[in-house]
Structure 1
Amino acid sequence: MDTQVADTLLGSLIDGRYRIRGRVARGGMATVYTATDERLERTVAVKIIHPSQKPDTRARMAGFVARFTDEAKTIARLTHPNVVAVYDQGTHAGMPYLVMEYVRGRTLRDVLAERRRLNPDEALAITEQMLAAIAAAHRAGLVHRDVKPENVLVAEAPTGGAANLIDSVVKVADFGLARAVEASADDEQGTQLMATVAYVAPELVTDGHADPRTDVYSAGIVLFEMLTGRVPYDGDRPVEVAWQHVDRDVPAPSTLVPGLPRALDDLVGRATRRDPGARPTDAGAMLAEVQVARDDLGNPNTRTAVLRRVTDEPMAQPTMMVAAVQPAQRPTWARLPETGGGQRAGRRRAAPEQGDDLWSRLGALRARVLGDPRGRVAVAAAVVVLGLVAAIGGWWVGVGRYTVAPQLVSLSKAEAESQATRGGFQLAYAEPRFDEKVPKDGVLAQDPSSASRIEKGGTITLTLSLGPERFGVPDVVGKEFELAEADLADAKLVVARGTARYDDNLPEGVVVDTNPKVGAQVKPGDKVTVILSKGRAPITVPNVVGKNLNEARAILAQLGLVLVEPPTGKESDKPKDEVLGQSPADGAGVEKGTQVKLEISNGPPLVVVPRVVDLPCPQAKQTLESQGFPVAVQFNPNGLTRFQNPGENAQVPPGTQVTIGCL
């Protein structure tokens, strides 16, 4: 049976108002819980700083709380649809906490763990809203300092559908939290880097300085990860990763994912320049660049067409205007201001005037050419040449430039690349997907399909397999059933309720275990049975250690508990039938009819009585008493020992009296 570590905050009431219901997430600086605001009867999120961040003196603790309170007030003034709202703050058990808006959804880290990487439209849509929130903070004079996927929440799209990331509502959390904790760390032990090294800006590493351009750099790294499925740098130690941001330029995303537009490379490159002065000045400036890039990539402008009606009259002709296609509408929280300006008017070229003599001159030229035999031959040759050119060109356009696409499906990636190279083809890769039958990096599909026509040297797009989809059962222990059910459903697992059981540590209705266990490998569609707590059991097991077996049996029976018979015996220096141990232990909560196992003493081990017959009576008495036997002397105490009881070599309990007869 697995032992779950209980969270003592579960079920507790904070500040007489917030009832802690379940644990949502645990990070490096704080733990987030879902709670019920019993005053307003609404669900909120409560973030409590870890005790490990607590300063070591009372004065420093007071300063820490004051700074945290100031940061909370600043954050609470941020009113933006893409910022997680802050409702309240306080301290609990000496540690500060924030009460925030509860966002029902997932973090961007969870989305990337499931999808690995996003397509450009989705990545830019999320980046727009993320930058809109950070820009609001920059306008308020606040720098986030810890922009990363774990602090970006992706709520369900207003149009519905968990997979619709383009229309999902994105909210950014933890504004100012890193600064408040960092200031406390500075007081205690000098400047510390309170940021996630995968996303840290170079200036934070070298001199600890942060301004709005620091957040721009981190947002650029987040965009890089959404496009490529990985962060630009890794290493064995965090300090190695941090210094790579200082010493190296972030690579272009298209070097890792061939086929990404150049505009995305430029956007990531601008945001992640090592020199802060070369980046956009703040999140608002970067937001404008992202929106322009999104318009350029997803909504190319259509030119206005002018159609002329041909007539024989050399007069001005009417025109028919074709309306330009409008760019797709963004959500209201991420829309650029409308720009003015009309379409560029094209100048019409006046038609040259033609007189009657033009037609007469053309007629005369035709007569001269056809009237000369050599002219007729030249015209015929030109017609033949033009026919051949047209035939060869038509053959090339329709047939000659094409070949047949090879069969690449079911090959490994290396085999497919080798065969494509031999055939002179280029390869591109679509989004990979999981497959139960095709191993990882096997080719699932190709476009165009095998035996289809393709231009010589053309590009074949392959879809690779990620192998069978397997992932660990999410950790839902300590959460209420509704939250656990939502987490498991998000992981594409089928949820079932198991038989509830009593638990001494977790309140009623909270998950105490799952089957399969948390972390066990499963695939989408597998069933996970959730076992809920019934709260503490109604009977508390009494302490019967040290009591006689019969007394212990009576106490247990009176409480409705059943003694496992026979009890387990063990040699001991304790008296026979004294209780040495019990299971369950005293204080455990159990229900009526629960079996209790006892371990009792079999008494001390037996000892051997020595031979004292034929010894002088005083010597015999001394020998027995030296080995712990009480001695009773009969008849002549100065005579010779003629008999003893118990007899020689008899095994008796320690302290048994030996009687000797002396004559």
Structure 2
Amino acid sequence: MATVYTATDERLERTVALKIIHPSQSRDPRFLERFTDEAKTIARLTHPNVVAVYDQGVYRGLPYLVMEYVRGRTLRDILAQRRRLDPGEALTILDQMLAAVAAAHRAGLVHRDVKPENVLVAEPPSGGLMDAVVKVADFGLARAVEASAEDESGGGQLMATVAYVAPELVSEGKADTRTDVYASGIVLFEMLTGRVPYDGDQPIEIAWAHVDNDVPAPSTLVPGLPPSVDALVRSATRRDPAARPTDAGRLLTAVQAVREELGSAPAAVPPRPGDAATAQLRPVSEPTQVVARVQPPVVDDRPPWSRLPGQPERARPQTYPAGGYQPPAGGTYSSGGTAYGSTASGGTAYASGGGAYGTPRRPAPAENPRLRVALLAGGLAVLLVVLLGGWWLGFGRYTTVPTLTNLSQADAQSAITQAGFEVRLGDGRYDETVPKDSVVAQDPPSGSRLTKGSTVTLILSLGPERIVVPDVVGKDFAVAKLDLENLGLTAERGPDRFDNAIPEGFVVAVEPAVNAEVKPGDRVTVTVSKGRAPITVPSVIGKNVNEARAQLAALGLNVLEERKDDPNRARDEVISQDPPDGAGAEPGADIRLTVSNGPPQVTLPRVVDRPCQEAKAQLEGMGLRVRTDVNPNATVRFQNPAENTPVDPNAEVVLTCF
């Protein structure tokens, strides 16, 4: 329905996604109005797992959306790479998917096209799907296109992806929140098994398979899956909409229950400090130090990329210099809350959240010299430990990451192991200069300082990226252009030409040819048929070349001749033609004729001054016809044709004898 570009918002200096609707979808003037209404509805849908819509407009008659740019991959890309996911990963992704769809359902919006291509997954730098952030895109877009198609055609149009289409959409053309529930169940099935439940040669066959069959249990394809996961898929993909969960929120509740059962639900967050109520402490009768138990603040160790928009960063622990926090003169204080204590005696102290404040008893200075020496020695020992610990924490435990780029995989892994690090292989990437299976990038970069045992990620080269030109011959030009652009190629329409077999508007040929290997972004020239040519080529086989040439020239065709020896054809007889009779040709087109040279010619010998009968016998033996004039029993005085003249077999030779 659309093409998506990476774009830059120059006013806010941010990267956005720009989705421009294809011209074929926006021919109806009423489409723009419907599309604008849907865009406004989508823009009001705010949720951390929904791809945000920033703006909407029209450029050269084509409507577009300005959307949030998600740095990640589609779920389709992940499944193409890994084929299928384990249940914990699949349910983690589905959990966030359903959170987004449930928000839409609460707002009265049905997605109508839930599929892996519309699920964006932002994986953490360390990899792994359990901590990934999932966002769902294209809410309401299918409805805008479908509504326009209904207005234009009078109904009967279905905008859906047949692999995930709900039975009621096929049989009745109706969609509600349970339609999204069904599609979500199919997505879960595909994540678990690596395939969709139904396949076929024609889209209509796949669509009606959803109407006629129950979705099989995933464990029938992947043995060992938990029964609760099978039950979850079965509940979401009931053919009867009334038997499914009523909306994505109900299905989300069931998914979270299964995750908890499988032990993949996230751990509960500990209570924050300060949650306890303020307590009254007992009176003190003498100066003392009030000691309060401090509950450390909860630390959110997750990196900023993994926190969803609008989610505040949790409090981090307060740090103090070596030796601990020093209280103000006349009292003590401990973090975690506020407490007020009495001064001398008989007062009342209050504490909140574990903090306390009171008046300490000051000890008398040490008078013993031995004690002073012991304290000095202890202080020096503590200082030494602090210095050594500081050196270890700041320098000693760190090692410099070596340079690994351009090394082979084996050499790079050996260098990392010798440096004391662990190795992790990231997703490879194509590179025109770095050989395949050599390191094209590393994370962290060379020269970084890491603690021993840390992980260094290697990105290996996949070699130069090459794309095989697809077979688009016989396809409509718009479809062929889209196929080429989806592969990262640039489609350019060349001069059209007539073709007898391929209808007008369909592809005749591509250059480079089908199955040729090209670089991403290379230009592919597409030749499109103009339909059958206006002139019908007649048959001239068996005719004299002069007659054939005149007939074809009268039709405005150009004749090209090629000679060939043929003992069975007369000289100058047309043996074959290209194009054949009945083919179409445009004015000025070349018609190639193969013309016979006849049998091989014979060179006449000299028979002058020889006896006439002897000369006649010799020439007849060569396959020639001989006629004698004047006195056939005399001597040959003249011959016609003359000696050394090439003649056709069975040609006549006249001998004059006297």
Q: TM-score, normalised by structure 2?
A: 0.49
Q: TM-score, normalised by structure 1?
A: 0.49
User: Which structure has more RCO (C-alpha within 8 Å, separation ≥ 6)?
Assistant: 1
